[in-house]
């Protein structure tokens, strides 16, 4: 299988003089979410390192993952999730239509068109539209929305086929996709085939200068092969008979630039181009020292973010993720934040629900769960849409119940929200209601929370043992007792134990179906889920059913019948107070079959 390639030459000028300045470790593809089946399969990680070409200035990843891996069935990004995003693309369509006086018969082609939001903006104004997208699931959604979309990668063959069937395009757009394409020579050949002689190629990309200024390193992931600025693009397009004649700046995705390209000598060059070039030199985005300083700040951010999360966990706080964007997976994997820190991620996108985040394997669930749960903090990973996310009625109710949001970029902050002035049924939050509190020193968090420097272990404030009517059986979520940048320490049990075993169980397989005369049993779930039936030894038809999840410990006293059924492939650590050596276990074990009442015709 072709996994990809190591970059040895600059993609735009072919220079070998590449200055590597940032190493985020080995990470999985950020949009490659996992279903239950793939959770039991190997997961590939790739080096995520960034270098800048010392010849032309292009900033790019040093390893290129094969696009077939990145944009297959598991690809999960939808551009239609946020109202902010929809408005941006509809406004973009209106702006382009007006700027170039487009006519109804003009063809608009969008490369990497996703579910077709930008094309919808053109189509509703009467223009002909066609999308090209390599992700099968995404292209299917677009076509169901009646935005004609061809599933495939842009290349010479598909371009010639389009021209034969649709004609050439007046406008070709590539929003947040130009930096995804490794074969730039092939892209330029395709543009030359598809674009009318007086046509315009428009790309919109996150801007490197803002990425550096605002420490937006979470936007660095394997899909994004380049982090673009104007200087290298001008050189690249000139080499291929095109020129950049205008550039505009927008606030979407933490600030982006929209670049307008035509064939040479067709359009007058706007002063915007020269101004942005001057800005890049002034900011020093091609200076090695500034790049090294950016990398240093990334390391500092990781430390501050982890310290904030660790301190909140030490207070016994429950933390969840709000939204599950690709950029969030860079933060999760680089900072090594997993489901000991964050219980789950809420999400609006239906195609992500029921999946797990790549690398850290945090479950992605519907956003309504936030109101069924007692979470204390929600980390807004899609921080560029924070205002819209906070206005969401579900998230407002979370705030009313005392929850707080954390915005991780550019500096980890807790958003203290004043809701006293909000009416009980008001479903909007205005900016003046939100106070941003920045913790400059981790000691401030300790002081505000009542913690002292001598607190080395977690104070568990919430007793979540479930014991009511369970015949003495206890179910308890086990939280870590100590977390630092080396990792996590979790105490499972402080009881006399004579046997410890590791047990794996295939999906739907059943274990136990017995009780112990003297032995206490403690089972800690490492992976998967079990449905457990329990009953008193002398009342085998008085059956209770409970579900135990990863990170939970079930304590079963003597004389309680218990039967474990794996809902999915599972692993548990099993501990018993009596020895299993020789005949000890069999002498202590009485086998009894019990049944779920729902399975019986009683």
Q: Do domains 292-449 and 474-599 have the same CATH topology?
A: no
pLDDT tens across 281-292, in order?
999 999 999 999
In residues, how long is the chain? 602
The pLDDT score that the predictor gives to residue 238 is: 96
Q: How far is the CA of 18 from the CAs of 210, 225, 346, 378, 557, in angstroms?
A: 21, 14, 39, 39, 64
d(CA 246, CA 230): 11
Taking alpha carbons only, the member of 285, 238, 287, 296 closest to residue 263 is 238
- What is the bridge-based pairing of β-strands 107-111 and 530-536? unpaired
Residue ranges per structural domain of the chain: 4-286, 292-449, 474-599
The pLDDT score that the predictor gives to residue 541 is: 87
Range of weakest confidence among 148-157, 200-209, 589-598: 589-598
Spatial contact of 216 and 242, defined as CB atoms under 8 Å apart: no
Q: What are the start-end ranges of the E strands in 348-445?
A: 364-366, 377-380, 404-407, 413-417, 434-438
d(CA 127, CA 121): 9
Mean pLDDT of the chain: 86
Average pLDDT in the 239-245 region? 96
As a whole-number percent, the residues of the chain with pLDDT over 70 amount to 88
The pLDDT score that the predictor gives to residue 81 is: 58
**Which residues lie closer than 8 Å to 9 by C-beta, 6 or more apart?**
15, 16
The pLDDT score that the predictor gives to residue 131 is: 93
Please identify which residue in the block is written with the tokens 């979407």. Answer: 252
As a whole-number percent, the residues of the chain with pLDDT over 90 amount to 62
pLDDT tens across 486-508, in order?
777 889 998 999 999 999 999 99
The pLDDT score that the predictor gives to residue 134 is: 86
Taking alpha carbons only, the member of 193, 116, 127 closest to residue 150 is 116
Ordered strands of the 552-556 beta sheet: 474-477, 552-556, 521-527, 570-576, 499-505
CATH architecture observed for domain 292-449: 3-Layer(aba) Sandwich (3.40)
pLDDT tens across 358-409, in order?
999 999 999 888 888 888 999 999 998 888 889 889 999 999 989 999 999 9
d(CA 210, CA 197): 34
For residue 506, the tally of other CB atoms under 10 A from its CB is 10
**Which residues lie closer than 8 Å to 118 by C-beta, 6 or more apart?**
79, 89, 92, 93, 110, 173, 175
pLDDT band at residue 452 using 50, 70 and 90 as cut-offs: very low
d(CA 318, CA 321): 10
pLDDT band at residue 40 using 50, 70 and 90 as cut-offs: confident
pLDDT tens across 246-259, in order?
999 987 655 889 99
Buried b (16+ CB within 10 A) or exposed e, 324-363: bbbbbbbbbbbbebebbbbbbbbbbbeebbebbbbbbbbb
Largest alpha-carbon pair distance within the chain? 92
Q: What are the start-end ranges of the E strands in 207-301?
A: 226-227, 242-250, 256-263
pLDDT tens across 9-27, in order?
999 999 999 999 999 999 9
The pLDDT score that the predictor gives to residue 250 is: 84
pLDDT tens across 217-228, in order?
999 999 999 999
Tokens of 192: 């030359």
Q: To 5 degrees, how large is the angle CA 241–CA 245–CA 249?
A: 130
Average pLDDT in the 316-342 region? 92
In CATH terms, 4-286 corresponds, of 3.40.50.410, 3.40.50.300, 3.40.50.150, 3.30.460.30, to: 3.40.50.150
Average pLDDT in the 81-89 region? 77
CA-derived radius of gyration, the chain: 28
pLDDT band at residue 72 using 50, 70 and 90 as cut-offs: low
Q: Could you tell me which CATH class the domain 474-599 is placed in? A: mainly beta
Taking alpha carbons only, the member of 519, 551, 512 closest to residue 535 is 512
């Amino acid at each position: 299988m072709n996994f990809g390639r190591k970059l040895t030459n600059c993609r735009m000028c072919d220079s070998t003089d590449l200055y590597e300045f940032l190493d985020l470790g080995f990470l999985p593809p950020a949009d490659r979410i996992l279903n239950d089946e793939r959770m039991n399969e190997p997961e590939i990680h790739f080096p995520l390192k960034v270098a800048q070409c010392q010849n032309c200035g292009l900033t790019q990843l040093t390893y290129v993952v094969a696009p077939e891996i990145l944009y297959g069935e598991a690809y999960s990004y939808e551009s239609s999730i946020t109202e902010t995003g929809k408005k941006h693309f509809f406004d973009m369509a209106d702006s382009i239509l007006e700027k170039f006086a487009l006519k109804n018969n003009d063809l608009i082609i969008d490369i990497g068109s996703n579910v077709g939001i930008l094309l919808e903006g053109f189509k509703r104004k009467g223009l002909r539209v066609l999308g090209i997208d390599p992700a099968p699931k995404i292209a299917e959604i677009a076509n169901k929305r009646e935005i004609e979309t061809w599933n495939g990668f842009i290349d010479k063959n598909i371009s010639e086929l389009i021209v034969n069937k649709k004609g050439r395009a007046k406008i070709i757009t590539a929003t947040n996709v130009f930096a995804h394409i490794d074969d730039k020579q092939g892209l330029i050949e395709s543009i030359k085939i598809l674009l009318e002689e007086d046509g315009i190629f428009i790309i919109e990309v996150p801007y490197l200068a803002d990425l550096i200024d605002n420490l937006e390193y979470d936007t660095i992931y394997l899909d994004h092969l380049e982090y673009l600025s104007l200087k290298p693009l001008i050189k690249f397009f000139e080499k291929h008979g095109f020129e950049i004649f205008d550039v505009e700046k927008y606030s979407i995705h933490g600030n982006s630039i929209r670049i307008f390209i035509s064939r040479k000598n067709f359009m007058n060059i706007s002063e915007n181009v020269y101004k942005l070039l001057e800005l890049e030199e002034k900011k020093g985005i091609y200076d090695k020292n500034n790049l090294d300083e950016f990398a240093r700040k990334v390391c500092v951010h990781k430390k501050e973010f982890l310290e904030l999360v660790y301190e909140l966990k030490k207070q016994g706080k429950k933390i969840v993720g709000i939204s599950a964007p690709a950029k969030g997976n860079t933060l999760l994997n680089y900072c090594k934040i997993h489901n000991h820190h964050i219980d789950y991620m809420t999400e609006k996108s239906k195609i992500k629900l029921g999946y797990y985040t790549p690398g850290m394997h945090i479950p992605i669930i519907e956003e309504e769960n936030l109101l069924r749960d007692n979470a204390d903090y929600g980390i807004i990973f899609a921080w560029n849409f924070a205002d819209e996310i906070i206005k969401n009625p579900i998230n407002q109710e979370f705030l009313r119940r005392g929850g707080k949001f954390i915005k991780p970029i550019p500096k980890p902050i807790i958003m203290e929200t004043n809701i006293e002035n909000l009416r009980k049924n008001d479903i909007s939050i205005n900016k003046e209601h939100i106070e941003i509190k920045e913790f400059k020193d981790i000691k401030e968090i300790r002081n505000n929370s009542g913690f002292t420097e001598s607190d080395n272990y977690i104070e568990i404030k919430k007793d979540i043992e479930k014991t009511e009517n369970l015949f003495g059986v206890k179910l308890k979520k086990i939280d870590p007792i100590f977390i630092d940048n080396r990792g996590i320490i979790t105490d499972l049990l402080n009881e006399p134990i004579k046997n410890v075993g590791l047990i794996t169980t295939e999906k739907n397989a059943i274990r136990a179906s017995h009780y112990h005369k003297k032995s206490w049993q403690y089972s800690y779930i490492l992976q998967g889920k079990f449905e457990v039936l329990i009953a008193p030894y002398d009342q085998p038809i008085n059956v209770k059913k409970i579900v135990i999840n990863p990170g939970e410990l079930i304590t079963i006293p003597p004389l309680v019948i218990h039967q474990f059924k794996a809902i999915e492939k599972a692993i548990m650590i099993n501990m018993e107070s009596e020895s299993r050596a020789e005949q000890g276990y069999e002498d202590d074990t009485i086998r009894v079959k019990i049944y779920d009442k729902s399975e019986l015709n009683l």
